[in-house]
Homo-oligomer: A and B are copies of this chain.
Amino acid sequence: MHIRIASGKILDTRKDENLLQAFKRQGMYLVASCGGKGICGKCRIRIFDGKYHTAHTEKLSPEDIASGTVIACQTFPESDLAVDIPKESRLAVGDILEISKGKELLEKFRSSGEILSPLVKWLPLSISPPTIDDNSSDLERLQRSAEAAGLKNMRFSHRLLSSMATDLREARWDIHLGYIEGPEAVFVAPAVRGKRYGAAVDIGTTTLVVYLVNLDDGSIVDIGSTYNSQIRHGDDVITRIMYASESGGLGELQDTVVTDLHGLIMPIIDKHGIPEENIESLAVAGNTTMTHIFWGLNPEFIREEPYTPTVNFFPVWKAEDSGLKIGMEAAVYTLPCVASYVGGDIVAGVLASGMHKQSGITLFMDIGTNGEIVIGNNEWLITAACSAGPCFEGSGIRHGMRATEGAVESLSINPLTFEPALGIIGNSNPLGICGSGMIDAITELFLSGAVDQKGKFNRGCATGRIRDGVEGPEFLISANNGRDIVLTEVDIENILRAKAAIYAGIAVLVKKIGLTLDVIERIYIAGGFGHYLNIEKSIIIGMLPDVPREKFCFLGNAAIAGTYLCLLSDKMRREAEEIARKMTNVELSVSRRFMDEYLSALFLPHTDISQFPTVEKLLRK
């Protein structure tokens, strides 16, 4: 049987394969936050011709069902089909996003007085060419020269030796020896070398970011970003770990991220005419699961109590060990992880924030696909992962989506008419609602009285926008597009859970160290989400603590910034390791106190309103 897509493309089907699987097998990816388990209801498609059977789901309204809309992962064809895939169901992976940041980072690095000292060191060596009276082997000659320069007991990999004889002769015995700590030789280059390049890589659960860096002066040559195509297999680290545990799953996830990185880096080096072999080192950061998957290490024990990663402090390995086909001999520095749910991205973020060098106490938050918190100063650091979940990236929210074109990113509600005014990314028709839109919506609904402290709709409001949907009460945000966009009570519940987890995490850590919130001098908010976050509204819903607003500071993608610093300097790499070593991880998932704090934080803004004095004041008005 065949499936004809409205675009004209024709796909085939296989026995016992649902439509999501059939699409995926043939390279057409749908949003499937739950990994295709029928839970998220995101892989909606409309079938306008043909026979099929599909499971019942509350994610579809009677109008949806009447129009032929189905959840692809729950639908099996019974004849040839003609289908239409709405834009909001399509997974926009593979597109390269542009980020225009990072230029100020080098200035910051330079102004700190740090010395540029990338991972690979280069030693100029003039090796005496062999003669008939002194024809000891190439390797002995190289070793002799290196030892004379003070490098003893250097290790030589089989791969380096494979081309060494030719390399030495082509360079006429006048070489630069590239080596890493060990010492281990990694490159034999001619005396006159090309420019040195490296890449800083941030492997986010949702987004991949690469900085291509000139290592001679530290400047950022170019920046690339793309969605992590692993999204095909689920939105959060848990679904990824589950996929990795299936037969062949780990290899597939590793291939996926490596292929993404290849697709990100190759166009950049092509564009700048950089020979691939001039990429001498990489610095890679990710959460613990992403880091394990990048290196092909089974992440399944991360998920099982007592939550033990295979490695936190990674040896320097070669790019090819990850399967990466760019600069295969490039030395790879991996940002050290702290625990199963606090990874190298957080260490990098802390490094970039500089909080580990300040005497005042800082709260660092990374609200990305997960939610991690660090509190500390130049003497101590304590950290926790809040399991906030990826709802702010759209996952688990009926019309949730990432902050891409068509997303409702801001919203205000007229308290009298309950009519919303929408800010939409790209000013197009609304396709869904992203994290900052969700926070706005709940705040506005709450302040206007349409939603109570428990997150339930007030059915007495004089508006037809609050109505009964297939999943229960919902608020109609937009009906513009012939397709309703709603925020359901179930959505609000999910968002409250996420914000409660974040706030409870902060509360537990603060209490753990025997202090109160007011001792925190600064709050750094990192993560892509951070940029669009409305601090005031985030406090009103009780996600962020109610402290003076000037303490808040957005860091943007601090993970890539810290990774970039590690690419540049030995001292930064040592600092990253010190940070990782110093951080005390608190396992919230087994903490009774966390559960108490979490339950208290499930209200708007909190069961203990005294923790939110400015909100209390606002509500009284």
Are A166 and B312 neighbours in the complex by a CB distance under 8 Å?
Answer: no
Closest CB of chain B to A132's CB: distance in Å?
4
Query: In the bound complex, how far is the Cα of B136 from the Cα of A305, in angstroms?
Result: 12
State how many residues of chain A have any CB contact under 8 Å with chain B. 44
Answer whether residue A309 sits at the interface, using C-beta atoms and an 8 A cutoff: yes
Q: Judging by beta carbons under 8 Å apart, are A317 and B135 in contact?
A: no
In Å, the complex CA distance between A162 and B301 comes to: 13
Give the 10 A-B residue pairs with the shortest CB-CB distance, closest first. Answer: A158-B321, A137-B312, A130-B308, A132-B306, A165-B310, A139-B311, A135-B306, A137-B309, A158-B317, A138-B310
Contact assessment for A312 and B590 in the assembled complex, using a CB-CB cutoff below 8 Å: no
Q: Which chain B positions have C-beta within 8 A of A137? A: 308-313, 337
For the complex with contacts A132-B305, A135-B339, A161-B297, 7 further pairs of A-B residues with Cβ separation under 8 Å are: A135-B306, A137-B337, A138-B309, A139-B310, A139-B311, A140-B313, A161-B315
Residues of chain B within 8 A of A317, CB atoms compared: 157-158
A307 at the interface (CB under 8 A from B): yes
- Chain A residues with CB under 8 Å of chain B are 130-132, 135-140, 155-159, 161-162, 164-166, 169, 182, 295-298, 301, 305-313, 315, 317-318, 321, 337, 339-340, 587, 590
Chain A contact residues: helix, strand, loop or mixed: loop
Find the B residue at minimum CB distance from A169: B301
Contact A310 B132 (CB under 8 A): no
Residues of B within 8 Å of A131, CB to CB, are 306
Pairwise interchain contact B132-A307, C-beta atoms closer than 8 A:
yes
B residues less than 8 Å from A155 (CB atoms): 182, 315
Q: Once the chains bind, are B587 and A311 in contact (CB under 8 Å)? A: no
Bound CA span A586–B237, Å: 65
| Docked CA distance A158–B162 (Å) | 20
- Given contacts A135-B340, A306-B130, A156 and B315 within 8 Å (CB-CB): yes
What is the CB-to-nearest-CB distance from A495 to chain B, in angstroms, rounded to a whole number?
29
Closest Cβ of chain B to A53, distance in Å, is 40
Interfacial chain B residues near A311, Cβ < 8 Å: 137-140, 161
* Complex contacts, A140 vs chain B, CB 8 Å: 311-313
Asked if A310 and B164 make an inter-chain contact with CB atoms under 8 angstroms apart, the answer reads yes
